[in-house]
Amino acid sequence: MSRQVTTKASGRTFTVRDGESVLDGALREGVIIAYGCRSGACGSCKGRVLEGAVDPGSYEEHALPAGERAAGMALFCQARPLTDLVVDCREIAGADDVQIRRLPCRVQRLERIAPEVMLIRLKLPSNERLQFLAGQYIDILPKEGGRRSLSMANPPHDDELLELHLRNYGGPFSRHVFGRMKEKDILRFEGPLGTFFLREGGMKPILFVAGGTGFAPIKAMIEHAIQGRVERPMTLYRGCRARADCYMNDLAERWNADHGVRYVPVLSEPLPGDEWTGRTGLVHHAVIEDLPDLGEYQAYVCGSPAMVEAARRDFTTRCGLPVEEFYSDSFTPAGGFPRASQ
Ligand code: FES
């Protein structure tokens, strides 16, 4: 039987299904409450049950000492509601609320999803999960020094593996990934980082613009919004050079067909063999042609610095997008390494 859970701080309500923990239900419905290991070991998800009753589940004693449990505390990654609940928990509203950590991880899967794009899935140690906001990135810390920034393409509720999209820029890290990296290799990273994340609340239509592997954080945001049943109209403009660069096109088309996320792919240099009959040119030009009045929108733009800057200038000066409603992330040097996911 499903139970309703209401959080004290924001008054948000979500449903917890049979067999789910409070945290499982919250994440499934796009409500992010603080957590770490998701296995009852770290105490990060601890909060108080103000009304109702829970089965506390199994956990390590140090994470929830008996005195705290007797005082009404629970570990929400383990606790299962026995009734409807009102809980006092730490809700994550912005990047400042998320703990930045350094963790090891294992390369679980490598897959070339476009001629110059590698999909990397990373597995964290058992008993570890990374809490992040949809759109944030991590910095890979190569043994030889420096950093390589890559956005998470998976949404926060789907956190068993971290999904990264790496474009081959020909630098040392790209050469390593495309030439020598193998599944089961061990890496270290720091994160989550960045303030490019979906601002929830409000009813403004959302415009997503992704260039190249800037698709990665946008994918996380859209999947998070779908999961959280965000009812705001959403439109995705996606810029790629040629058809083969437009990886995961089927996925974007499914968002369109199943969830009403309007999808407009735009190729800048289609090849004759692409037999492309869709939009061509620069992706932000296509937006301006179709949406000359962005006064009511909120925009999330991720791609090369040139594309992001042109979009910022034109959307705000020509199309009336309020400056404060333009959110962006771009390929910028980070510790000597280019941001690879945008
Ligand atoms: S005890 Fe670690 S997330 Fe719940």
* Residue 120 clears pLDDT 70, i.e. is over it: yes
Q: Is the dihedral of CA 99, 101, 104, 105 positive or negative?
A: positive
Compute, in angstroms, the gap from residue 334 CA to the centroid of ligand 1: 31
DSSP calls for 30-88: T--B--SSSSSSS-TTEEEEEES-EE--S--GGGS-HHHHHTTEEETTT-EESS-EEEE
**Among 187-201, 217-231, 292-306, 319-333, whose mean pLDDT is lowest?**
319-333
CB of residue 74 inside a 6 A radius of ligand 1? no
A 10 A CB-CB count for 71 gives 9
Domains in the chain with CATH codes: 3-91 (3.10.20.30), 96-193 (2.40.30.10), 206-338 (3.40.50.80)
Kindly state the average pLDDT of the residues 151-157: 95
Task: Return d(Cα 105, Cα 107) in angstroms, integer.
Answer: 7
Ligand 1 atom at minimal distance to the Cα of residue 40? 1
* Residue 49 clears pLDDT 90, i.e. is over it: yes
CB of residue 35 inside a 6 A radius of ligand 1? yes
Mean pLDDT of the chain: 92
Task: Return d(Cα 34, Cα 82) in angstroms, integer.
Answer: 22
Taking the model in full, what pTM does it have?
0.83
Copy the structure tokens of residue 166.
């790496």
* Residue 45 clears pLDDT 50, i.e. is over it: yes
Beta-ladder partners of 46: 75
Q: pLDDT of 50-76, one tens digit each? A: 999 999 999 999 899 999 999 999 999
Task: Return d(Cα 93, Cα 163) in angstroms, integer.
Answer: 22
To the nearest 10 degrees (0 to 180), the angle between helices 249-259 and 215-227 is 30
Task: Give nearest CA residue, ligand 1 atom 1.
Answer: 40
Compute, in angstroms, the gap from residue 129 CA to the centroid of ligand 1: 9
- How wide is the angle at C-alpha 303 spanned by C-alphas 101 and 131, nearest 5°? 20
pLDDT at position 93: 78
Q: Ligand 1: which of 21, 42, 61 to mutate, judged by most atoms within 8 Å of the beta carbon? A: 42
- Residue listed under structure tokens 């260039």: 211
Ligand 1 atom at minimal distance to the Cα of residue 60? 1
pLDDT at position 170: 85
Closest listed residue to residue 291, CA positions, set 310, 264, 259, 270 = 264
* Residue 116 clears pLDDT 90, i.e. is over it: yes
Q: pLDDT of 137-147, one tens digit each? A: 999 998 888 88
